[in-house]
Amino acid sequence: MNAPSVVSLVHLGCARNLIDSELILGRLAEEGLVVSGDPSAADTVVLNTCSFIGPAREESESKIRELLKKKRRGEVKYVVVAGCLVQRFKRTLMKRFPAVDLFAEISDGGALAKSIRELNEGKKINRYLESPGLREPARDVARLLSTPRSFAYLRISHGCDHTCTFCAIPSIRGPHRSKRTEDLAIEARELIDAGVRELVLVAEDSTAWGRDLGVELPHLVETLADLEGDHRLRIMYAYPNRFPWELTRLLRDHPRVLPYLDIPVQHVASPVLRGMRRAGSGDQVRRILDRLREEVPNITLRTTVLVGFPGETEAHVHELVEFIRTYRLGRLGAFGYSPEEGTPGHDLVERVDEDEIDRRLGQVLAARDEVLEAGQKELVGRDLEVVIDQAADGTGEALGRTWMDAPEVDLVARVAVPDAAVGDVVQVRAEGLDEEYNLRCAPVRNLA
């Protein structure tokens, strides 16, 4: 009897895409394949791609070329490409990358895993797997978690109903569909029982959750927060339009709901927001943030902005920079505009030169870093709780996060505690910063 084939998965993109990767891994294991975290030890490498903006697409295509070079050298037998890039550009990729053995659009991963098994068994397969249609907003099952025990992502819905002119996500993921409360409670229960400390709620538009079911996001958040267990909730991707204000009560008062909110505003200059087809004006964005801080006094806000959208002027960038400074938005992601095929913004003519976009992006990031450094320095000398994401493993320094930091996108805390395990909550004292403004901490006492 032949030994089972070894498959490795390379993940690119956002947290929602990571959940897709975890589902694929689970299906691969169900098919009897051996899953390895080391692509160099695998017979087959699966690349789960991202295609949100130009740099993400370029990274995906660069990784395809890299894997195909390894195939030519005999370092890997089969290369499989799946996910958003395939969903968006479909069979045209087969012509551009004829040496790829299998392409798969977005699905639950079952047909993909079966095809990979048959490919490794030497059977003839269909080289292109179409999606069976929009994924039903059903419970995600048989995920093989790739995150540490300290956190896991919980996808609460699929798709997006917004028509932002720069964004291809609705064409890739479809319209918004909410998962049912009872299904999400089961998913959350499974994660909590597996020892996960922090449930990070993600979606293309978290604040739209439940409207197609006749409820609002606070109902779900309270249901999940009230589950028995030692867990906490963090909310990401909260679109500011039609914000469910009952949520602030939970952010402020519920002991298991972190007073943290990721709320992507994209810009603050009203003409740019109109061009992007974002609901509201710059003044409305400011009023939303003002109200959030008034109703949740200790809230940490994270946001994302887009620089260089067609028609943006130097004055608009100055307004954005001053907004970042005034609202002290140190936890901020920024990216430059890229014209995306199939989006309303693709053919806009008032383009900003790429070098100018880079210069403006530099201004925005400089303002962010200025605010971030000042805010982190204010924490030095304070006692804080940190959840450990990565054990010291002989280095003497574990990596963790305060409640003010989301995993993978925000800052870390470097803790001089050699014996802390992943998922432990440690009381620390912030003693200084490293060169990237991460906290350097010493333990005070272990809480769990």
Are the C-beta atoms of residues 357 and 337 closer than 8 Å to each other? yes
Percent of the chain with pLDDT over 90: 76
Q: Which CATH architecture has domain 6-129?
A: 3-Layer(aba) Sandwich (3.40)
pLDDT tens digits for range 93-109: 999 999 999 999 988 78
How does pLDDT run across 197-251, given as a tens digit for each residue? 999 999 999 999 999 999 999 999 999 999 999 999 999 999 998 899 999 999 9
CATH tag, 151-377: 3.80.30.20
Supply 415's token pair: 């803790």
Which sequence spans correspond to the domains of the chain?
6-129, 151-377, 383-446
Instruction: Return the pLDDT at 372.
Output: 98
60, amino acid identity: S
pTM, full prediction:
0.92
**The domain over range 383-446 is classified in CATH as 3.40.50.300:** no
The DSSP 8-state label assigned to residue 266 in this structure reads B
**Contact of 143 with 20, CB cutoff 8 Å:** no
- pLDDT tens, 278-313? 888 999 999 999 999 999 999 999 999 999 999 999
Q: Do the beta carbons of residue 362 and residue 389 sit within 8 Å? A: no
φ and ψ of 233, to 5 deg: -115, 145
**Measured at the alpha carbon of residue 241, what is the angle toward residues 239 and 245, in degrees to the nearest 5?**
90
- Please write the tens of the pLDDT for every residue from 353-372: 999 999 999 999 999 999 99
CA 114 to CA 445: how far, in whole Å?
49
Q: How far apart are CA 148 and CA 8, in angstroms?
A: 18
Cα–Cα distance for residue pair 354/310, rounded to 1 Å: 11
The pLDDT of residue 1 is 47
Taking phi over 0 as left and psi of -120 to 50 as alpha, with beta for the rest, 40 belongs to alpha
Which positions ≥6 away from 163 have C-beta within 8 Å? 170, 277, 344
